[in-house]
Amino acid sequence: MEKAKQLFDLFEVQGTFDSAAPLGAGLINDTYKVTTKESNCPDYLLQRINHAIFQNVEMMQNNIFRVTSHLRKKLEQRGETDIDRKVLTPISTKEGKLYHFDGESYWRFMLFIPSTKTIDSVTEESAYAAGRAFGQFQCDLSDLPGEPLGETIPNFHNIEFRLQQLHETIEKDAVGRVAEVQELIDEITKREEELCLPERLFREGKLTKRINHCDTKVNNMLFDENGDFLCVIDLDTVMPGYVLSDIGDFIRTGANTGAEDDENLNNVEVNLKVVEAYTKGYLETATFLSPIEKSLLPFGGKLLTYMQTVRFLTDYINGDTYYKVKHAGHNLQRTKAQFKLLQSIEAHFDEMNEFVK
Ligand code: GN1
Ligand code: MG
């Protein structure tokens, strides 16, 4: 609390600090809501950036600044109202920097968007809205002027790289967990060739990189009191990648009938209605797609679910150094739930492809 107050005074904020309280369910950064005393001053979102994961904070904050400024301009051009609730607003320090480093941690402030909710499970309606929203997001950013955005986490959604990390982790077997997960490793290995397709297409010049959100989990969208879509949040990983990432991560999270870490694997299935609704919304606004990108959209769902299986398993074998965990087997539980979802996607893959056609 004392810390939050000290930080508050370093940033270009309005009003007087009242209180700070933890907020949200992110697996990476620590987030607080900072409330101001005055009712006519905004509240703020304060975050401690996970510097072990986001090693180039300067680059990340610059990306976010460029992206939010560009999105704001697009909203203005469309004559939208209530723009402060439809795009994030980063707050700079009194010295004009987009973050503050206190010698140990990196901190940033954003405007808090009032009267919103996030959702953890979607209906067909909200999936359609999300599809439109993320399609619009990519479309709006497709003409971002200037240099390409930086890769805030190099090779973030590069499946060849993720598999290489997994194999190195298996080699080391740092905490002796490999034997226990051999079956899962075999399942992953069996699919390597198939799932590395986008990287091959990229090398052959058939697939391009565009600006992606790269963390299109359902809970990274804000809705208003009526359940209408407002704003895409968590822009830390906005960077160049394949459009498959964004539809894929949405399918992985929004079209899962269970939880990402569901203990009961019977709960976990792909919800085809949600896939269909999202795809429909997305194709309406993502008007820039090439035929090959379009045809690979369902593959995106498969790829991102596979990639998350690989990433959770890698972290489990590595002794849980990346994701926050609630108990010792948490990453393994997540791995199993993601793998179950992958199997369900595989079983329904033909139907998913029909939606695009
Ligand atoms: C992390 O921070 P959060 O919870 O939005 C992760 C994503 C994973 C996700 C799995 C920077 O996202 O890539 O898909 O957990 N973000 C980073 O839930 O690694
Ligand atoms: Mg997030």
Report the atom number in ligand 1 closest to the C-alpha of 29. 2
Position 35 pLDDT exceeds 90: yes
CA 176 / ligand 2 centre spacing (Å): 30
Number of domains the chain is built from: 2
- Residue of minimum CA distance from atom 7 in ligand 1: 215
Instruction: Output the pLDDT for position 338.
Output: 98
Stretch 24-44: mean pLDDT: 90
Domain boundary among 95, 114, 133: 114
The answer to whether position 78 is within a domain reads: yes
The answer to whether position 270 is within a domain reads: yes
Ligand number nearest CA of 233 is: 2
Domain boundary among 83, 114, 145: 114
Confidence of residue 219 (pLDDT cuts 50, 70, 90): confident
Same-domain status, 218 and 245:
yes
Phi and psi at residue 150, in whole multiples of 5°?
A: -75, 155
CA 357 / ligand 2 centre spacing (Å): 31
Position 24 pLDDT exceeds 80: no
- Residue of minimum CA distance from atom 18 in ligand 1: 27
Same-domain status, 88 and 154:
no
Per-residue pLDDT tens for 289-299? 999 999 999 99
Same-domain status, 98 and 228:
no
Position 323 pLDDT exceeds 80: yes
Instruction: Output the pLDDT for position 14.
Output: 97
Pocket test for ligand 1, best of 53, 156, 161, 217 (most atoms within 8 A of CB): 217
Ligand number nearest CA of 260 is: 1
CA 234 / ligand 2 centre spacing (Å): 5
Domain boundary among 114, 142, 163: 114
- Residue of minimum CA distance from atom 13 in ligand 1: 215
Same-domain status, 304 and 268:
yes
Same-domain status, 102 and 161:
no
Which residues are placed with Cβ below 5 angstroms of ligand 2, an ion? 26, 234
Stretch 305-323: mean pLDDT: 97
Same-domain status, 51 and 133:
no
Ligand number nearest CA of 323 is: 1
Contacts of 92 (CB under 8 A, 6+ apart): 11, 12, 98
Same-domain status, 221 and 181:
yes
> How far, rounded to the nearest angstrom, does the alpha carbon of residue 323 sit from its chain's CA centroid?
14
Among residues 143, 130, 105, 87, the alpha carbon closest in space to that of 7 is found at: 105
Ligand number nearest CA of 309 is: 1
CATH of residue 271's domain is 3.90.1200.10
Position 25 pLDDT exceeds 80: no
Stretch 33-40: mean pLDDT: 96
Q: What share of the chain is helix, strand, coil (3-state, %, to 5)?
A: 45, 15, 40
- Expressed as residue numbers, the domain containing 35 is 2-114
Report the atom number in ligand 1 closest to the C-alpha of 28. 2
CA 214 / ligand 1 centre spacing (Å): 9
Same-domain status, 271 and 195:
yes
Pocket test for ligand 1, best of 23, 27, 245, 334 (most atoms within 8 A of CB): 27
Instruction: Output the pLDDT for position 107.
Output: 97
Contacts of 183 (CB under 8 A, 6+ apart): none
Position 300 pLDDT exceeds 80: yes
The answer to whether position 138 is within a domain reads: yes
Position 4 pLDDT exceeds 90: yes
Per-residue pLDDT tens for 114-135? 999 888 778 998 899 889 999 9
Same-domain status, 319 and 211:
yes
pLDDT averaged over every residue in the chain = 95
The answer to whether position 119 is within a domain reads: no
Q: Which residue would you say has higher pLDDT here, 356 or 16?
A: 16
The answer to whether position 43 is within a domain reads: yes
User: What proportion of the chain, given as a percentage, has pLDDT over 70?
Assistant: 99
How many whole angstroms separate alpha carbon 30 and alpha carbon 47? 6
Same-domain status, 259 and 289:
yes
CA 167 / ligand 1 centre spacing (Å): 21
Per-residue pLDDT tens for 230-286? 999 999 999 999 999 999 999 999 999 999 999 999 999 999 999 999 999 999 999
Task: For 85-119, give one letter per residue: b (16+ CB within 10 A) or e.
Answer: bbbbbbbbbeeeebbbeeeeebbbbbbbbeeeeee
How many whole angstroms separate alpha carbon 172 and alpha carbon 168? 6
Stretch 53-59: mean pLDDT: 95
Confidence of residue 228 (pLDDT cuts 50, 70, 90): confident
Instruction: Output the pLDDT for position 99.
Output: 98
Same-domain status, 129 and 91:
no
Which residues form the pocket of ligand 1, taking CB atoms under 6 Å from any ligand atom? 26-28, 53, 215, 217, 234, 237, 260, 308
Same-domain status, 128 and 249:
yes
Q: What is the pTM of this model?
A: 0.88
Report the atom number in ligand 1 closest to the C-alpha of 253. 18
CATH of residue 12's domain is 3.30.200.20
